[in-house]
Structure 1
Amino acid sequence: MGCVMNKLLGGIIGAGRGSFIGFTHRAAATLRGEAEIKAGVFSSDAERCIQQGLELGIDKNRIYTDYREMIEGENQLPPGKRIDFVIIATPNSLHGIMAKAFLEGGFHVILDKPMAISLSEALEVKKIQEKTGKIFALTHGYTGYPMVKQAKYLVRSGKIGIINSVLVSYNQGWLSPLISDPEIFKTWHLNPAISGPSCTMIDIGIHALNLVYTITGLKPEKVCADLKSIIPGNQLEDYGSVLIRYSDTVSGILNASQVSTGEGNALRIRIYGEKASLFWDQEFPEVLEMMNLDGSSTIFKKGISALCAEAKQASYFPAGHPEGFICAFSNIYSEVFKAIRCLKDNQSPDSVVMSGWDFPGIEEGIMGISFVEAVLKNNKS
């Protein structure tokens, strides 16, 4: 008889109707049948919160109207009933506050980026995580794609040789309508009290940076930034270009814009090495191109036998059957759940960390907000 694996139990904050990222988290967390959502706070409006929780099939007694109420309520439940982890998918200003509270409340935390809206706050989260020994994961979901894992393998195994430069761009156009009419719609991303000190860099620039780090292991050492607010009256940047020195021998450019008219979600990376270069485009995620020294190209596709073990494991379907964003996100969750199960099996936190589960965490979060602060500071100089 096969072994039946009990599902992990989760809660979620900020995933009500109309929340793109909330839906993504709910779907990704439950896609493989490893977990189910049993509790949550779904709106800052109490009536709407209850209604949306019921629509999602949550027991009314576990629909909370405040995150502090949720921590208290879940801790009153016996083990096996209370949630194991919480997903935080709120606007930026609440990330660090809630992450600290849930870690101290005894729950594993899966947090949408950014980790916090300041480096000092991120370091507070790190301190509490280290004290509690709970799992902390940051959902840079693009790193879950099979071709990103293949690119990482090609770089780390020396297939493209020594890297000399990295070009990464993340261009969206969803804010472009505000250039001609700033009153068309309102978004919290442009409100410093909610978004934090940045709009575009803290929203998508850190995704681009994390993609570079995931594939190459490179971290920025120095930056030279040019940020702009193209939308009239915008207090925060909506466009930015950053020269980055990763080391004495590796430089790069990171470009991020949310006023790139006509663009959807164009996250693209080029990595140039002495033997070959790599190109990957998030809007065509199942293809990775390696351009060789002689000008020829090798094309890697999801599902083929030539892929590394990690890329194969991250694929849900055979070659020719398209996968997408939620599957990539789910790969992050699956790795997080492995780590949580190790702790539930009474392995020590140190041994779990050393297991090397493949998901972004504390250090990636600190790197991201450190980058944002460095870029903002340099832009003013």
Structure 2
Amino acid sequence: MKYKRLRLGLIGGGIDSMIGPIHRYAARLDNCYELVGGAFSRDKNKSLHLGEELGLDETRIYKDYRDLIQQEATLSPQARFEVIGILTPNADHFPIAKALMEADYHLILEKPITTRLTDAIELQCLAESYKRLCCVTYTYAGYPMIKEAKHLIQIGKIGKVKRININFSQDWLLDYVDKTNKQAKWRQDPALGGIAGTMGDIGVHAFHLAEYISGLEVTEIAAELNTFVPQRNLDDDGVVLLHFNNGAKGTLNASQVLCGDKANLMVTVCGEKGTILWEHAHANKLNLYRKNHHHEILHAGKDNADLSAITLHNCRLPAGHPEGLIEAFANHYRNFALSIQSLKEGSKSKMEYDDYPKLAEGVRSLAFIEAAVLSSQNKGKWTNLF
């Protein structure tokens, strides 16, 4: 399909944002979007400053999302935004997303999609009612070798899945920086980040990968959430036991207080005939272990004919040339753009275009967060997701 650039607006992601530049890089990588404007900050002067840096028309820089909706409505359909990304702290997601859906926009939404499961379900219902598409940025599902792992499990390469272990650990909250670090300040504030800290920040990435790769659903969990740093409001560490709908078991470890770990993400899926291992530190490789002691290492690369079609669709470079986080993010952006284009043309979206995280996955992650907090409050009692 020939790309037709979509007019993109962003809410949040301003000058001092960590995630803002990542979204902008991802949107530009495949030339699927044109960033037209937005409301990048609560401070309009900061928004205008970023808009000037990016060479944007200052008339398309808005005070907030309400101003954006009102002013964009005065423009012709050929000029106004088609897609809007919401990059704000978690508590703002629901009111902004709801208003934008009602105003006829497709959305790119940071995770977790809301701070409450009931709000997440309402968003999903609104999207279905208004026929809006929404991409949720579970970044790591965009890596080519994560997609290859999913494919290998789907075709039975490792047999019936028995166990899934996922570890995601960092060390940036090792000290009490909750008042001085902008990212920690809102993530550890229940009014802005929600009821979970680390489990809501990176634990949901791990949870999403467990379900995405395996094709299974978690049915119940037993969680212990910890707060190791004194004065901290929310969890900075946690361990969760998982039960899946096929009888498989799993463990999920998420911590932001493990000294020396920066983004230590590792996924192990064990089946009756073999095991798949993926490590973020070696994201372009996938380890496949078989019962006969055979160990195979698969490499990402658009020239690797041994990979599945959906994996190749998400590779840009030949094998041996590393692709990373920006490219994984960009895969979601591109696939989402192609799905929107298919919708506009009235054609059925191809399987590889439709492969981006959706609101249904966001809803399940909110169910996971709430179940984890409840289970931990009840001393690790097994708790159903729904």
Shorter-chain TM-score range = over 0.9
- What's 1:274 paired with? 272
Gap change, CA 1:104 and 1:305, over 3 Å in 2:
same
Hey, what's the Cα distance between the residues in 2 that align with 1:355 and 1:131? Answer: 24
SS in 1 for 2:297: strand
Aligned to 2:117: 119
- Report the counterpart of residue 324 of structure 1 in structure 2: 324
Q: Find the aligned partners of 1:275 and 1:353 in 2 and give their Cα distance.
A: 31
Matched residues in 2 for 1:132 and 1:354: separation? Answer: 23
Supply the AA of the counterpart residue of 1:314.
Answer: N
Q: Provide the rounded CA distance (Å) in 1 between the counterparts of 2:276 and 2:351.
A: 29
2-structure distance, mates of 1:5, 1:216: 31
How far did residue 355 of structure 1 move?
Answer: 8.9
Alignment CA distance shift 1:352-1:236 (3 Å): same
Query: Quick one: distance in 1 between partners of 2:134 and 2:278?
Result: 28
1:340 maps onto 2:351 in alignment: no
Identity of aligned residues (%): 36
Aligned to 1:364: 361
Structure 1 match to 2:371: 374
Kindly report which structure 2 residues correspond to 1:286-305, keeping only aligned pairs within 5 A, or say none.
Answer: 286-303=284-301, 304-305=304-305
- Which amino acid is the alignment partner of residue 374 of structure 1? A
Structure 1, residues 122-155: CA drift from partner, whole Å, max 9, x if none?
0111121111101111011111111001101110
Deviation track 1:182-211 (CA, whole Å, cap 9, x = no partner) reads: 666452111111101111111111100111
Deviation, structure 1 residue 177: 2.5
Distance 1:275 1:57, change over 3 A: same
CA distance in 2, matches of 1:355, 1:144: 11
Residue in structure 1 matched with residue 310 of structure 2 by the alignment: 310
1:229-240 matches, within 5 Å, as 229-240=227-238
Deviation at 1:80, TM superposition (A): 1.6
- List alignment gaps of at least 5 residues for structure 2: 379-386
**Distance in 2 between residues matched to 1:151 and 1:292, nearest whole Å:** 14
Q: Tell me if structure 2 keeps the 8 A contact 1:16–1:53.
A: no
- Provide the rounded CA distance (Å) in 2 between the counterparts of 1:5 and 1:204: 32
Which amino acid is 1:311 matched to? T
For 2:350 and 2:310, the matched residues in 1 are separated by 19
Which residue of the other structure, out of 155, 159, 162, is the alignment partner of 1:161?
159
AA matched with 1:340: I
Q: Secondary structure at the match of 2:113?
A: coil
Residue identity matched to 1:101: A
1:24 Cα offset (Å): 0.8
Alignment match, 1:221: 219
Q: After TM superposition, give the deviation of residue 320 of structure 1 in Å.
A: 1.4
Give the 3-state SS of the residue equivalent to 1:117 in structure 2: coil
CA distance in 2, matches of 1:185, 1:96: 24
Which stretch shows the higher mean deviation, 251-260 or 42-51? 42-51
Preserved contact between residue 240 and residue 372 of structure 2 (Cα < 8 Å): yes
One-letter identity of the residue aligned with 2:10: I
**What is the distance in 2 between the residues matched to 1:51 and 1:184?**
23
Pick which of 265-274 and 301-310 moved more.
301-310
Aligned to 1:40: 38
Q: For 1:43, what is the secondary structure of its paired residue?
A: coil
Cα distance between partner residues in 2 of 1:69 and 1:185: 29
How far has the Cα of 1:294 moved from its partner?
2.2
Residues 12 and 232 of structure 1: is their aligned pair in 2 closer, same or farther, counting only changes over 3 Å?
Answer: same
How big is each residue's C-alpha offset from its partner over 1:266-323, in whole Å with a ceiling of 9 and x where there is no partner?
A: 1110000111101001121001001111223100011132111111111111111111
Matches within 5 A, 1:94-173: 94-173=92-171
Indicate the SS of the match to 1:147. Answer: helix
Residue pair 1:177, 1:184 contacting (<8 A) in 2 also: no
What displacement does 1:49 show?
Answer: 1.6
Query: Is 1:25 matched up with 2:30?
Result: no
CA distance in 1, matches of 2:256, 2:350: 36
Aligned partners of 1:105 and 1:46: how far apart in 2?
Answer: 22
- How many angstroms does 1:97 deviate by? 1.4
Q: State the AA in 2 paired with 1:367.
A: R
Deviates more, 1:212-221 or 1:163-172: 212-221
Evaluate the alpha carbon distance shift between residue 119 and residue 4 of structure 1 in structure 2; reply closer, same or farther with a 3 A threshold.
closer
Q: How far apart are the structure 2 equivalents of 1:324 and 1:75? A: 38
**For the residues of structure 2 that align with 1:146 and 1:354, how far apart are their CA atoms?**
15
Partner residue of 1:188 out of 182, 186, 189:
186
State the distance in 1 between where 2:353 and 2:28 align.
Answer: 23
SS of residue matched to 2:207? helix
Deviation at 1:346, TM superposition (A): 3.8
The aligned residue for residue 384 of structure 2 is none
Contact kept, 8 Å, 1:11 with 1:37, in 2: the verdict is: yes
CA contact (8 A) 1:182 1:232 kept: no
> Which consecutive residues of structure 1, in runs of 5 or more, have no partner in the other structure?
none
Task: Please point out which of 260, 263, 275 is paired with 2:261.
Answer: 263
User: Which AA in structure 2 matches 1:76?
Assistant: T
Counterpart residue number, 2:381: none
Q: Partner of 1:176 in structure 2? A: 174
Cα distance in 2 for partners of 1:336, 1:134 equals 12
Q: Distance in 1 between matches of 2:16 and 2:233?
A: 26
